Structure formats: structure tokens, C-alpha cells
A and B are shown apart, each in its own frame.
Chain A
Amino acid sequence: MAVAAAPAVPAKRKELSQSYWSLVWYRFKKNKLGVLGGIVLIVLYISFALIPEFLAPYALENRSQFVEAPPTAIQLFDEQGRFQAPFVYGLERRVDVAKRLRTWVPDTDRKYPVRLFVQGDEYQLLGLIPMNIHLFGIDADPREARIFLLGADALGRDYLTRILYGGRLSLLIGLIGQFLTIVLGMTLGVISGYYGGPVDMFVQRFTEFLAAFPNIPLFMALSAAIPNYWSPIAVYFMLTIILAFLGWGGLARQVRGLVLSLREREYALAAKSFGASDLRIMFRHLLPGTTSHVIVIATLSIPGMILAETALSWLGLGLRPPLTSWGTLLQDAATIRAIRFTPWLLWVVPPILITIFAYNMLGDGLRDAMDPYSGRG
């Protein structure tokens, strides 16, 4: 019996459909600087916000006798010039009589090997998993010798550890603050643009007031109003709210402008003609049309928030010890005495700059990818 040829199975057509966001992603991927900025930020947030406990060799408040020790050099060759596994020398206190200064010098008699994944101070990874493994460290009793890759501060605490931990608060204040800003700015912007009239008038005048008022004095006044008996964490959240409160105006104006133009688009009218509620029109039809702009604006203004926190804390108006942020670290670093005798405290500046550059690169890349004029959107 003849076997009927199996009917040709039509090759499954590749799903050609591309949403707006997949187009954006496609364009964004081609922007090398933007992608680099994004990757840098991911690395920064993972290492500073998620797992600083693991990356740092010591616990945040772990003090030592090695007050203001300079950065420890990792040695690869011993005194005879022979190659060795990486090690560090112990520290010895020396008084420089001429300079009337106490310093720390390497004691070449004591060597401590540098190891990966050493056991050290206890911590909870992500606040959940109890651990005591640190990425690196030295094989030594911490009372006897320590490794300070970026030096130590006035209480003998490892400065690298402090920068890593400090990044968490500084980086998150930008994100959380910007999140609040987006929620406030988008909601008020869309309401103002959609309803118009007195609501619009009020929102507009208020944002103008915020825009006209000089920022720093306003920051100072508001943060001075935070009661100083509040717990540092409450102060932190209050500060975030203050930053968001001052930042939403610009965003609200932009969203309002976009909504004004989108409101006349026929798809908003179409939804209304089918009986859609105001909320549905605002949040389902108008706001999605503004998200690309909002994401760009938000990305580009996160650095402003991080800087604002840093500046406020530096002025002594933001976060206070024992909270550690890049701002409070900068406060310690930016004195004549510190610059003269412990210049390594300025290592807090590069992470701040890198974060800001990365955000700007990412924001520019996103803007180019989402530009409504560079393609159909």
C-alpha cells in the first residue's frame, strides 16, 4: 500500500511582532556607551548595595589600633627579590620626630599571606544568610595585623569597607528618592494635564514655586526641621522624602506637557467614547505614552539626588554618624588636616564620580533609544 507523503509542515513562522520596548532595547544595545553605563551601574549596585558585607574584608564598625594607617601595599617579591604568593607586611608604629608625626611603617619581619574567601567577621548576607566568609583578607589575628587596601580612618577602621558600606545608603537614596519622585511627579502631572482648570493652575504654580526657590537653603531648612532625636534610619527616610518632594516639580511639568498633547490623540478620545473612566484614560492610555520620557528624565536626575545627599551630609545636614554614606565619609575627608595627613580618605570621590558618569551615559543611551523622532514609536 502506497504511503501518502506526509503533508509538508509549514515552517513555524518566527514571531515578527515587536513591541515598542523591544525596539527600544534593540536600539539601546547598539549604543556602546549606554550599555557600558548600564553594566557599570549593575556592578555598582550589586557590589555596593547588595553584597558589600562579602566584598569588604572587615565589618563596618570594626575598629583597630591602626589609627590612620596608610593603604597597605600587596607584595609579590620578598626582600631578596624572589617571587612569592601575594602577602602583606605587618605594621609598626614609628614616630617621625622631625615632622612631629606618628606614622605606620611596614615591618618586614612579619609577613601575612593574602587569601581569597577567608573567614572573618560574622554578617548576614542580604540580611538573611548568616556567613563569615569574606572575598579576601589576610591570614592573621586581626588584633595583630590587618589589610587596609585604601588605608584606615581615625578610628582604625578599614576605609575600603567603609566606602563599600557607605555606597549602599548613597546609591539607594537615589533610587528610592527617584521612585518617590516618579510616583509623585507622574500622578500630579497626569492629573494636572488631564483635568486642566484649577487643579492644573495649583500644581503649576506650586512647581514654579519649588523651581524658583533656591535648592540648598530649602534643603537646609527642611533637613534642619528633622528632629535630631529621630533614629538615623528615620532621618534617612525623611531625607529621601525631602529630596523626592523637591524633585517632582520638574517631572510633573514634563509629564503634564506630554499629557496635554496626548490628551488630544484620538486613542484617548476613543477610550472615552467607549465609556472608559478618567482613571483608566489617565493610567492606561496617557501615562504609558510618557514612560519613555520619564525613564530618561529619571535616569538623568538620579545623580542629582545622590549628589544632593552627599552635599547635605557633607554640610552636616543630611545623614549623621553612625550612618555611613558617601556623604558622611566625604565630611571626614574634606578637611585640611585629612588632605594633608590622610589623603587616602579621598578615595570616596571616585565611586561618586563613576556612579554619576554611569548614570549619565545610561540616560543618554536611553534617550537616544527612545527618541520618538529617530523612528516610529
Chain B
Amino acid sequence: MSSTTAQGTKATTSTKDGRIGDILLDVKGLKKYFPIQRGFLRRTVGYVKAVDDVSLYVRSGETLGLVGESGCGKTTASRCIIRLYEPTAGQVFFKTRALSPDGTPKMVNLLELSREEMNRVRQEIAMIFQDPINSLNPRMTVADIIAEPMVIHGKYVKGESEERIVELLRRVGLRPDHLRRYPHEFSGGQRQRIGIARALALNPSLVLCDEPVSALDVSIQAQTLNLLQDLQEEFKLSYIFVAHDLSVVQHISDRIAVMYVGKVVEMASSEELYTNPMHPYTEALLSAVPKPDPLYKSDRIIMQGDVADPSNPPSGCYFHPRCQYAVDLCKQKAPEFREVKPDHWVACHRAEELKLRGVY
């Protein structure tokens, strides 16, 4: 199996509006194989390659959209980054202040940290979960839920922290008298706001948002997205924003990474990806994005066949059975994930020669 890594990522690139800075997170060749065990002796008979070579990076202050069909490994990848799952291989570099005594930031490979060190770094990486019902403990009050990260890191100070919790609650649009209530007394959108307040409790620098709005009503989705954007501005957050279709991430992402069966197949700035996609899978996804212009003739690319099975992926390029541009080479050799243009990464043999259709 091939292992292409995003080597030589530039430390800084054009800063669009000044708020985007250095590389904050740099993931290289991340893999997570879940063993498939059968029988009484629980012999391993194979692996689900849920994440099979993911390389991406996030600059501080920006939002990286991570997009792909259901089951392509987005959740697994984001959980590997914060080591909720132990990755099978790869490197996750993160710029942290938690490990140096004087608080100077330094790049460390999270996968090499001890448990105790990793827990300290977890103050700086927060997670927002997809399911607003399941991600809040039903037996804890809102106050306890938001206080928990502070309590865990010994940063809960009576009085002071309570004020901060009230402030956080206000900031996400809830009322202080909600503090003593339990999660089941809130609507889905409100619960997600509680989850957001909890994520902000320790002033993280990176927030992993795993489909934070996909369980919500469409009317509430936009509100929640706006809130996340406001908070990003206010607290200088960086986001990895997971979503399963491009239309959600379009407006809030500075850059987008597209995943297909455990691999990132294309990564570029949103504008570049929309106007000038270089991977046939991205093109197919873009053709499915609803167009605002009613006169626009729909020419949606209908992909042949099913998504590949991560426990038994096809040879060569995983996308070749469904790719209308596939050639013989695609069946034999896996394409490398390479920087075809500055800041535009693609894993396709024919990236340069194909002229793919974007949206605009």
C-alpha cells in the first residue's frame, strides 16, 4: 500500500486578511486500521482501513473543511488527531504551549506524547460532537457540563469560574438561569450551544467540529454556523470542520480537504477548490451542490457503483471503479498526494492533464 505524505508544507503562506498565521496542526500520513476479529479466539481476520493515509494541515485562525461521504473516515480521522483513537501510523504535529514551562509555543508530535503530556495538550484542542443529545451527560447540569474541562485541569476556581461559565453561556446565546438545568430540557440547537460553550471553556486554539450542525434543523443550522464564525473571530480559533457535503462548508471554510475512503484526495483553498477542482471525485461532489441560478442546466455527474469498502478497498486509486477518467495506471498504482500548485494538493495521476469543471 502506498504511503504518501504531505511533506514540505510551507510554514506560512499568503495571509488572506491578516488573521491567518502559521501552521497550527500538520497531519502526515495518518492511518487508523480497526481489526476485524472473528471466532472464539478473536483472531484478526482483516482490517477496516477507516483512515488510510490522511495528510492535511491547518493554519492558526483558519477553518479547514473536511468533506466526504458517510463512512469515509472523517470522524475517525478527527478522533485520531486528539488521540481518542490510537492511530495505526502517521504523525500529528501540533503547536502547543502547554508543554513548555514558560508557555512558548512549539511543534510536537502528539502521537509521541505520554498520556499525561497528551492530557495537558488537550486543553488546547477541543471537540464539538455531531450528536447534541449523546455528547452531554444526561445526569449533569449545564453548569457542571461546562465546568468539567476546568475541573479536569484543576482550573476551576469557585466564584471566578462560575462567572466565566455564565459569560460563556451568554456568549453562545443561552441564559444564566439555564445553568441548573439538565440537557434534556433543551432543544437540539440549544444543546449544541452548550457543547460549544464547553469546548470554549479552556480557551483552546483548535476546535474539531465533527458535523456540528448535521443533526439540527435547517433553520437552526445557519444560526449555529454564524455563532461558530463569530466565536472564531472573537477567540482566534482554528477549526477543522467536518461535513458530509460541500454546501455546508462552502461559506465557513478557508480551505477544504476532500476525503474518499480513508484518504484525503484533494486539499485547496475553498475558492480554488470550487473554481478549479483537480480531482474527479471533487468534480463529482461539486456537480451535486445545488446552484442558486434557476436557469443553470443541471449536469450532475452520477457516479457509477458504490463507495469502496474500507475493509477491502480496490487496487491502485481507490476511486478508479467510479472514475470516468480512469486509465490503466489508475488500477495498478496508487496516486501520490502531491502539491500540484502552491497550496493545492491532489492525489490523482491525471491531475495536470484533466480539465475539470468547477462551480463558478
A274-B149 contact, Cβ under 8 Å, with A17-B182, A19-B182, A265-B134: yes
Q: Does B123 contact A (CB under 8 A)?
A: yes
A277-B154 Cα distance, complex, nearest whole Å: 12
B191-216: contact bitstring with A at CB < 8 Å (1 yes, 0 no)? 00001001000100000000000000
**Please, how many angstroms separate the alpha-carbon atoms of A272 and B125 in the complex?**
12
The reply to whether B131 and A280 contact each other, CB–CB distance below 8 Å, is: no
How far, in angstroms, from A277 to B152 measured CA to CA in the complex? 8
Q: Is A40 an interface residue (CB 8 A)?
A: no
Residues of A near B135 (CB, < 8 A) are 266-267, 269-270
A276: which B residues are within 8 A, CB to CB? Answer: 148, 152
Q: Is the CB of B123 within 8 A of A275?
A: yes
Q: Bound complex: CA of A267 vs CA of B136, how far in Å?
A: 5
Per-residue B-contact encoding for A352-377, CB less than 8 Å = 1, 0 else: 00000000000000000000000011
How far is B119's CA from A99's CA once the two chains are assembled, in angstroms? Answer: 86
**Chain B residue contacts of A285, Cβ below 8 A:** 137
Known contacts: A272-B84, A273-B84. The answer to whether A267 contacts B137 by CB under 8 A is: yes
Contact in complex: B138, A20 (CB < 8 Å): yes
A-B contact count, CB below 8 Å? 73
Contact A275 B84, beta carbon cutoff 8 Å = no
Contact A269-B185, Cβ < 8 Å, known A275-B123, A289-B139 = no
Measured between beta carbons, the chain A residues less than 8 angstroms from B118 are: 275
Nearest B residue to A270, CB-CB: B135
A321 contacts partner chain B, Cβ-Cβ < 8 Å: no
B136 cross-chain contacts in A, Cβ below 8 A? 267, 270
A16 contacts across to B, CB distance below 8 A: 185
A253-282 CB mask vs B (1 if < 8 Å, else 0) is: 000000000000111011111111100100
- Given A19-B182, A377-B138: A273 in contact with B122 (beta carbons within 8 A): yes
Per-position binary interface string of chain B over residues 109-132, scored 1 when its CB falls under 8 Å from any chain A CB and 0 otherwise: 000000000111011011101110
Q: How far is the CA of A289 from the CA of B125 in the complex (A)?
A: 27
Let me know if B181 is at the binding interface, CB within 8 A.
Answer: yes
Contacts of B122 in A (CB 8 A): 273-275
CB-CB contacts of B134-148 with A at 8 A, as 1s and 0s?
A: 111111010000001
Q: Is A18 an interface residue (CB 8 A)?
A: yes
Residues of A within 8 A of B126 (CB): 273-274
Minimum CB–CB distance for A87 against chain B, Å: 59
| Nearest A residue to B119, CB-CB | A275
Query: Chain A nearest CB: distance from B214 CB in Å?
Result: 14
Q: Using CB atoms and an 8 Å cutoff, list the residues of chain B in contact with chain A.
A: 79, 82, 84, 118-120, 122-123, 125-127, 129-131, 134-139, 141, 148-149, 152-153, 180-182, 184-185, 195, 198, 202
Chain A residues within 8 Å of B, Cβ to Cβ? 15-20, 265-267, 269-277, 280, 285, 288-289, 376-377
Q: 6 nearest interchain CB pairs?
A: A275-B122, A275-B119, A266-B135, A274-B149, A267-B137, A273-B127
